[in-house]
A and B are shown apart, each in its own frame.
Chain A
Amino acid sequence: MKYLNTFLLLLLSSASIAQTYTISGTMKDSTNGEDLFGGVVVVKELSNVGAVANAYGFYSLSLEAGSYTLLYRASGFENKEVVIDLKANLTLNVELSIPKDVLEIEAVEVTGVKENDNITSSGMNVTTFNPKDIETIPVIFGEKDIMKTLQLTPGVKSAGEGNSGFFVRGGGADQNLVLLDEAVVYNASHLLGFFSVFNSDAVKDVALYKSGIPAEYGGRASSVMDVKMKDGNNKNFGVSGGIGLISSRLAVEGPIVKDKGSFILSGRRSYLDVFLKLSKQEDIRNTKLYFYDLNAKANYKLSEKDRIFVSGYFGRDNFGFSDQFGFDWGNATGTIRYNRIISDKLFSNTSVVFSNFDYRFTIGTGDDAFGVNSSIQDWNVKQDFSLFANKNNTVKFGFNGMHHTFKPGALTGGNDSFNELILDSRYGIEVGAYIQNEQKIGPRFNLMYGLRYSGFNLVGGKSYTFDDDGNRLTETTHERWESVKYHQGIEPRLSLSYVLSENNSIKLGYNRNLQYLHQLSNSTTNSPTDVWVPSSNNIKPQIGDQLALGYYQNLKKNAYRISTEVYYKTLQNQIDYRNGANLLLNNEVEGELVYGKGRAYGIELLLEKKKGKFTGWISYTLSRSLRTFDQINDGKEFSARQDRIHDVSVVLMYSITKNLAFATTFIYYTGSAVTFPSGKYEIGGEVIPLYTERNGYRMPDYHRMDAGLTWYLKDKKRFEHNINFSVYNLYSRQNAYTISFEENSETGETEAIQTALFKIVPSITYNFNIK
């Protein structure tokens, strides 16, 4: 209550009593009718007055009666000015168009309006991309991938060679909330991480929140990656796609009823297995290794005030070895949304969201075959409101309830030598409610402050208690809806910016995030078999607290951006494992866990060039990520695996001619922390490595350069196409993927063997777009 009073007070203190009218409407892309999330409208005559469109392109701005020039803008679009004489409430639906070529972006500059939203917005550290932005950036296998491009930005680290898994500011890979149209994606990688599940043809944009996380998001301790699917072109039919060495894509989109509704359907499949068939070795010929995914979305405007969206994702990986071994896994998500413009100031969205991840192993054939399967499934009902209260305050509030079903695994089938083993299902209900205000105070202060309440109720299933050594003490069976344990907490969120001048600002962000679901993984690589477990009587929710401070400066008419951010993050109730822990098919997996804490801190420097023929960025991160567990490393603090101290990324994009674009990236980072032996001894005549500390060693430093050339072939009016050549690991650096210690059979000496996954990998992709 204390918080709520303060909140209301802040809100009311700035409410104006003069006669005001409201301008509201939607902002859209003129070429395809897509909503412009994050589009901005500002009033030229007033300082620091404007509104930001919400996720559905809806904006609302309340002003006192008078004449104004409204300036609409969005990143990558031409500005649009509208002169109004405000005497009554007004609906203004605006469409912005994409400039014809780069030069015109600069022409837009002549209008005298600074593109300095990065300076003036309150939200800090939001990294946004749309697939168009990153089209020319080379990636492995030539498949453009938003997740891999995000790893080139400061504070975001790759989970490994070619891997789409990532770490944000020292947090774990499972501490990132990855959303696709509001549905949680539990395993965002294909082919063990070489591809992400996000097909760039289907993605409208992605936003990554590293700190000052808005209160509408909850559930993970470190970051939020919010991916939005395209709505589909509501003006014209179009077909686009690409043919690559490893996979191909095809997308179809178009209006259902022009300007009222649209759909998009896109699919992708890899065909590695086709090449495997060419192998001389029978084993390889009989190996299956592919993935596919499908994205579908449709939206329809029921009236000027009502709109529905239906979107879904289905993807699957398949790995098999003749008919003796099969392993497949994948995500399925579905989202139904209903938008309603309740008044010109109040916007409502109701969502019903489904998400499922499962994997399956099958071994053997016929009567002897047996299999293991495991899944996690969510149903989520969510209600969000945006209230554009007045010209200085935009309030967002809402609530949600989510039901989780965890099926940790079942071993089924097989002959008599295997007993069926079905692990107990567990169920959880996760609830959240939030309220947040974005407030402008005077011309220089922008604030975003909010509170989130979250709770998690583990219901049904079995619960266990354990002694200090992880031995089971008690086992209790619960009724389906009986509460085992309820965890809850308040999560304050805050961002504030102070504009020093139109070219520089400082920002501060604080957020607390609670995480009720935990991923258990005792291997060094992300794996579909990593288990998700709920908070329980044994496992407490993870708590992440982060304080971040940034300084932002734009130079040369916003052509260059410089930012410096420092952060300090603490993590409570972190999870690690006892020696020799068995995480697979273990009902009492909680007995294998130990709990500790972590902290991470760092400084991130970014120099970005946004305009001209030559664009790109250089980022440098100096950071640490440390953990402390009583039972590990004698209770002494140790480096987390992702504790890479120095991290450099360089991304350069150059338009050689109108039809030819070149891009290159360079990456350098300190090798991951790793545990190596510091001695050896023998047990039963066998050599056993002796360890003296956790993660006390480093893998060799990682560095790599990639390059790509995109050739835009001659455009026809309704047909665009291009060919992309890219080279991954240009100078064929053998970066260590693993280091193992083996005895040389000839000399008898123990040697360190480094395995690198890739040398140089060239690829070629053809992309087309029929409009």
Chain B
Amino acid sequence: MKYLALIFGIVLFASCQKVIDVDLNEANPMTVIEANYTAEDSTVRVYITQTSNFFSNEASPTVDNAVVTITDQAGNSQQVPFDAAGWYVLTNYVPSYETTYTMTVLHDGVTYTASCEMKTAIAQQPVIYDFVEPGIFGDGGYIVAVSYQDPPEAGDYTSAVLSKNGNQLKKLSDVTLNDDLFTNGNQVTRPLFVRFFDLGDTVEIELRTIDQKIYDYYTELASLTDPNSAAPANPTYQWTNRALGYFSAYSSSRQSVIIQ
């Protein structure tokens, strides 16, 4: 709605923008843990950084001296060894589906814990695409759609991640989240209205089956990028002791298509 008001202002009365000084507080640094356990390649990847000042131009400081441990549902723990510059990687860690994994990160005397259920992948059907005429949604182009048979029991949460010509589109706005609230058990074909593609592009869709917590987390994260929000707040903490970030264990299925 603010946009309408702005259109009104801009069109008629030359509303004006300028850069101003805003004095922002400097929050104490907080730990940010991005942890992914990917079933597809049986690898745990953890990236630990710290928050920085909002106007800072430097890259987020990394945390290299944490102790990262992953524990399976049976209670067997394994350390995720430090790799380089904030990264901790554990390979050949074979997933057990429909079980819960717990991760702990010990840093500066504080232990951060989060857990996540590893879901079974949902098989994808071939990617379909369609041409969209230019219009208010943009310049037009090809839109791809993900298709799959939603499992019969309710509570399936997915995210669809696109790759274009071999490059993954990592931006939050390029990821489509889906729940099965209205589609449980159905044959689902969902157009991914995030990006237009051109003739000749190779488009791959990775359909991740994620825990509901991660679905909620990404939904909240996406709302932070909405400038209309009256009262933005940090997403619900996924880690104990208020570390930012998340721990997601997920499995994937892939399909790709060449647009022609």
Residues of chain A at the chain B interface (Cβ within 8 Å): 191-194, 272, 275-276, 279, 284, 287, 289, 319, 321, 324-325, 327, 363-364, 417, 419, 421, 521-529, 576-577, 579-581, 632, 641, 675-686, 688-692, 694-697, 700, 734, 736-741, 748-759, 761
Contacts and interface: CB of A to CB of B under 8 A. Distances in A.
Contact of A524 (B52, B135, B230, B235): B230
Contacts of A758: 9, 13, 15
Given A684-B172, A686-B171, A750-B54, A275 B20 contact: no
B51 A761 contact: no
Among A284, A321, A632, A688, the most chain B Cβ lie within 10 Å of the Cβ of A688
Contacts of B227: 738, 740
Contacts of B21: 752
A754 B60 CA distance: 26
B182 to A, nearest CB: 7
B199 interface: no
B16 A324 contact: no
What 7 pairs across the A-B complex have the smallest Cβ distances?
A527-B1, A580-B220, A678-B27, A580-B223, A757-B9, A752-B22, A679-B27
Given A579-B223, A580-B223, A749-B55, A691 B22 contact: no
Given A676-B24, A683-B221, A752 B233 contact: no
A526 B1 CA distance: 8
A759 B34 contact: no
B136 A690 contact: no
B1 A677 contact: no
A741 B54 CA distance: 10
Given A577-B231, A677-B24, 11 more contacts: A276-B11, A576-B231, A682-B32, A689-B54, A690-B234, A694-B231, A736-B20, A737-B5, A751-B19, A755-B6, A761-B13
A191 B229 CA distance: 21
B219 A324 contact: no
B16 A641 contact: no
A319 B3 CA distance: 12
A579 B51 contact: no
Contact of A641 (B136, B182, B189, B230): B230
A343 B160 CA distance: 75
A500 B59 CA distance: 70
Given A275-B12, A678-B25, A691-B233, A525 B51 contact: no
Interface residues of B, number: 66
Contacts of B7: 287
5 contacts: A289-B8, A527-B1, A581-B223, A689-B232, A757-B5
Given A191-B8, A683-B34, A677 B54 contact: yes
Contact of A684 (B11, B50, B170): B170
Given A529-B1, A753-B18, A678 B24 contact: yes
Nearest to A363: B136
Given A677-B24, A679-B52, A734 B18 contact: yes
Contacts, number: 197
Nearest to A581: B223
Given A191-B8, A641-B230, A739 B20 contact: yes
A706 to B, nearest CB: 15
Nearest to A758: B13
B170 A685 contact: yes
A607 B224 CA distance: 45
A680 to B, nearest CB: 5
Contacts of A734: 16, 18
B52 A192 contact: no
A643 to B, nearest CB: 13
Interface string B213-251: 000100111111001111111111000000011100000
A579 B236 contact: yes
A72 B30 CA distance: 72
A392 B63 CA distance: 79
Interface in B146-192: 170-172, 182, 189, 191
B26 interface: yes
A754 B230 contact: no
Contacts of B236: 579
B99 interface: no
Contacts of A364: 135
B30 A523 contact: no
Nearest to A632: B233
Contact of B232 (A284, A679, A691): A691
Given A275-B12, A752-B22, A695 B231 contact: yes
Contact of A525 (B2, B16, B57, B231): B2
B13 A675 contact: no
B51 A679 contact: yes
B19 A752 contact: yes
Contacts of A694: 231, 233
A284 B16 contact: no
Contact of B16 (A193, A276, A697, A756): A756
Contacts of B51: 679-681, 690
Given A521-B230, A695-B231, A758-B9, A682 B49 contact: yes
A45 to B, nearest CB: 59
A748 B19 contact: no
B230 A522 contact: yes
Contacts of A521: 230
Contact of A748 (B1, B24, B26, B57): B57
A756 B182 CA distance: 42
A579 B222 CA distance: 10
Contacts of B216: 580
A725 B14 CA distance: 21
B4 interface: yes
A740 B229 CA distance: 11
B177 to A, nearest CB: 11
A191 B27 CA distance: 40
Contact of A579 (B2, B19, B55, B235): B235
Nearest to B242: A634
B53 interface: yes
B260 interface: no
Given A284-B11, A523-B2, A580-B219, A753 B228 contact: no
A395 B26 CA distance: 61
B17 interface: yes
A284 B7 CA distance: 10
A522 B229 CA distance: 6
A242 B19 CA distance: 40
Contact of B57 (A577, A688, A697, A749): A749
A679 B17 contact: no
B233 A524 contact: no
Contact of B136 (A325, A527, A632, A737): A325
Among A363, A419, A682, A683, the most chain B Cβ lie within 10 Å of the Cβ of A683
Nearest to A699: B22
B190 to A, nearest CB: 8
Nearest to A728: B13
Contacts of B29: 679
A675 B233 contact: yes
Contacts of B246: 683
Nearest to B47: A682
Among B13, B222, B227, B245, the most chain A Cβ lie within 10 Å of the Cβ of B13
B26 to A, nearest CB: 7
A324 B136 contact: yes
A674 B223 CA distance: 16
Contact of A192 (B5, B16, B224): B5
A88 B18 CA distance: 75
B62 to A, nearest CB: 11
Among B2, B5, B55, B229, the most chain A Cβ lie within 10 Å of the Cβ of B5
A191 B7 CA distance: 11
Nearest to A579: B220
Nearest to B4: A192
A321 B4 contact: no
A757 B18 contact: no
Contacts of A417: 189, 191
Interface string B98-138: 00000000000000000000000000000000000001100
